[in-house]
Structures are given as structure tokens and as C-alpha cells.
Structure 1
């Protein structure tokens, strides 16, 4: 798989702010991957094929997309694309915006009109610059700019920000799961971290997200496996264990039930 070439790297915000912003040009493909943070990319020029959670579309000037830690994506470059990339943890923005990632049920990507592009581009440029030498002021400055930009995207997608329907600990637990679904995840650990008994935690999780914990984890793993099988040359066995399954027979059975075909029939 090809690597990524960065022709231009103009701005970086101190990692202590838990956010970074980089303007760069990608000239080669980016293989499928996930992040332990949220990500926004604003396309300034060029053309590429973008695959997110198995859904594929064309990237070009004016496209903006937002990814959560549970998303996985890859990029196939057609023409070198110049973009501004913003990466941040959930602490950077208000909790409501984090909840919206899970409440909207939509893939957060849109294409701006020329007028919208001209209006939003300066905001991205401001985010990608360190405004002052005061760390606390920088955090507030960047947070406000990010939230203004997010509200613009939400308006474009007709998303109405919602108040959380459960305690923050439940949302923190799903963020943890989204980052670590390929590893072994303990219900004891999750419930203890949230401050609830296992039974009550399971009840709250199901009530909040409409699915049981194990089903949620397995769906993340199966979606990741499907993406690997359709976009890489990795073997079915490698896909099984790379996706977090410890048993090949269990993986095959669950995969076939979910996608109505065995993993070998889905391979690239």
C-alpha cells in the first residue's frame, strides 16, 4: 500500500492543547485506518476517492467531513489534494457536540457552495494558526472557532444539536469502545469506570444507543472487517484477528449473518 507524501506543512498547534491543525497536500493513497481522536478535513483543491465505513464518494474542492474515533476511512488520490486537517480530542469542544456524532445517525460530510467555501475557508485558516502565547486563551479561541465551523456543517446537513439523554459517563464509555473495539473490552471495567453496576450499565447503554454492548462492539468489528476485505489484500484470517475476533469460526458465522455472505466472497 502506498504511503502519504506531504508537500506542504504550514501550521501546527501545540499538542498540549489536545488539538492540531495542519495544511498539507496529499499526493499518494492513504490506506484504511482509524484514529483515537476526532478529525475534520476541509478540501481546498484536487480530487480523490474517499471511503468511510465502506461508503465511497468523490472528494473535491469544497468538501468537508467530520470523523469520530469509531470511523475508519481510506483515500485514493486521483489529483493531488490540498486540505486543512484538524484533529482533536473530545475535551476540546462542548460535550453536546460529541454527543451529536452519535445522535445524528448521519455520515457527517458535505459539499459547500462557492459562497459557503469562501465564508468557511478563513475560519479553517484561523484554526490552523496559533493566535497568542497564552495557552488558556488559545484553547478557548480554538474551541469557539471549531464550534462555529461545526454549526455551519450541521446547518448544511440539517442536523439539530441535541442535549445528551444519558450521563456523560455513558458517552465516555462509548468513546472508549470506539477507540478500542479491536482489543478485549471488559464489561466489568466499563461499568466500574462509569460508576454503575454491570446490569444497570448494560441497561443504560441499551436505552441510550438502542443496542446491547456486545452487539455494538461486534458491529464495529464486523464493519471494520468488511472495510478491510473490500479495500486491502489482507487475508481473511488476518482480517478476523485484526478486527478483534478471537475465534475464526465465530467471526465467519457472525459475518455471514450480518452481510449475507461469507468473508471469502467479499474479498477485494
Structure 2
């Protein structure tokens, strides 16, 4: 994706309730901003990497955990001079034990995605992850059951730590622009409201050109394309839950159905009726 004027691209596809990847590579690949239809846990093991998630930049240390919520727009920035190793866990939004996804909703509400652990808790989660990785590859009796149990155990601990703020809060581990963060938070919590550039500029007492330039600098995409993309994702979720298409468009902040239908087809490759 050469320009961020267009809606952000989706990446990855998940059929199972969860998948675990253990990856070590060294590449000069540059990532575009993207989103997933599932939640993602990134466990950073080694290398030099930063993650940009919804306007915040996180600078990672070994065994840092990032919670990337479904539809959160993000990208990694990797230093290609050293190997980059990580565990990545993909988790469907509609898993049987819905309470295990609470941490992702809380990450969105807080606009904060990083879990940094003390060494004792770190060792416990490290052991669970390696056990889960081994179990998923095994073919012995009950491997599937054991994998599900280990996944549940890992996610229970991650939720406890994040929901109860039992993590190390290091102010040097992330950076953000407070005005852009406020804008992002307001947009995401008020997708059906009037989000015109003029309205947002008045609300935040900013020159609209200064606001637009700052938003693009901090996030990599325009205010307009960000709002349209988030509204389309909301509409698609409503449609998948059985909401009639026209009603879903209205509930997602679109006042003109033709504009909605055209934008939907452009972002998802098919009309909303499909």
C-alpha cells in the first residue's frame, strides 16, 4: 500500500479459535499500517522493534507483551540489522470463552497496549508459552485438549495482569502526542457523531490544517480515511450479526447509502449485500 489516503488494508485470516506462531527472522521488509479481523498478542523475545498502534509508539524489551485488538490499526517497525524473534498469538473475537477477550476491549478503552512484567511473572508466562507451542506440534493422546487448556491458562493470566494493572508502567517505553491521542479516543467512541474536520477542529481548539497535518504525521493516515475505515469495520460487524444493511450503514455514522456502498466495496472488495 503506497499511500495512506486509501482505507487501511486487512491482513491475515483465522479459521481456528486461536493460532500460535514462533518466528525468528531478519528482513528489511517495511510494513504498512494494517488491521486484523481477530485479536493479536505479540510477545517480543529479541531484536530491536517498535510497534505503532492507534497513535502510540511502543519501544519493546524482551518478553514485553502487546495486546492488539481486533480492527486496531497498527504496524511494526523492525531494525533489520539484528534478528527479530517473537511469539504471535491470533485469537478469534467469537471464541467460546468470551471473557478471555476482555483484555483487548480494555486495551482499546485505555488506549494502552503494553504489558511489561517483573522477572517472576515473566518466567511463568514464558513456561506456559513454550509448553503451548510444544503441545500444538505434538500428536500424543489429548494434545488438542492440553493445547486448549494451556491457551486458556495463558490468557487468564494475561487478563488478570492487564485488567488489574499488575504490570510495570515505564513512561520511557512509549511515546504519543496527547492531542492526537484525544482525537483518536473521541473518534473511536463517537463513530456515529458529526466527525467533520471543522467540528473536530472546533472541539479541540486547533487549526484544521494543523490538526490534519499532525494526525497524519503521528498515525500515517488522514483523519478522513481513518474515520471512514473505522465506520466501515463497524458496519461490517453489524451486518455479520444480522443487522439489515441500510440500518447498519446508518448505525455506523453514514448518512448517504450510496457513499457507504461505494466505500464498502472499495475497502472489502464486495458490496455490503454480499
Alignment partner for residue 90 of structure 1, among 93, 96, 112? 93
2:153 is the counterpart of 1:148 = yes
1:18-57 alignment to 2 at 5 Å?
18-26=17-25, 27=27, 28-57=29-58
Cα distance change on mapping 1:93 and 1:227 into 2, 3 Å: farther
TM-score scaled by structure 2? 0.51
Matches within 5 A, 1:16-165: 17-26=16-25, 27=27, 28-78=29-79, 79-92=82-95, 94-103=97-106, 105-106=109-110, 107-129=112-134, 130=136, 132-133=138-139, 137-159=142-164
Q: Between the two structures, name the one with larger relative contact order (CA 8 Å, sep ≥ 6).
A: 2
- Given that 1:46 and 1:81 are in contact with CA atoms closer than 8 Å, whether structure 2 keeps it comes out as yes
SS in 1 for 2:128: helix
Unaligned ranges ≥5, structure 2: 3-13, 166-185, 198-211, 233-248, 255-274
Give ranges in structure 1 of 5+ residues lacking alignment.
3-14, 161-210, 252-268
| Superposition RMSD in Å | 4.3
Deviations 1:102-135 (CA, angstroms, capped at 9, x unpaired): 2563334211233333322222123224255489
Answer yes or no: is the 8 Å Cα contact 1:40–1:64 preserved in 2: yes
Number of paired residues?
Answer: 182
* 1:55-86 Cα deviation digits (max 9, x unpaired): 11201201011222131211111344200111
Superposed displacement of residue 229, structure 1 = 5.4
- Worse-matched range after superposition: 126-135 or 15-24: 126-135
The question of whether the paired residues in 2 share the 8 Å contact of 1:92 and 1:139 is answered with no
Q: Which residue of 2 aligns with 1:215?
A: 190
| Aligned residues of 1:53 and 1:72 also touching (Cα < 8 A) | yes
Cα distance change on mapping 1:133 and 1:17 into 2, 3 Å: farther
Deviation of residue 19 (structure 1)?
2.2
Separation (CA, whole Å) in 2 of partners of 1:217 and 1:140:
43
The equivalences for 1:186-201 within 5 A come to none
Between the aligned partners of 2:161 and 2:43, the Cα distance in structure 1 is 14
- Residues 37 and 134 of structure 1, relative CA distance in 2, 3 Å threshold: farther
Contact 1:20 1:88 in 2 (8 A): yes
> How has the CA–CA distance of structure 1 residues 143 and 45 changed in structure 2, closer, same or farther, with 3 Å as cutoff?
same
1:230 aligns with 2:205: no
Q: TM-score, normalised by structure 1?
A: 0.52
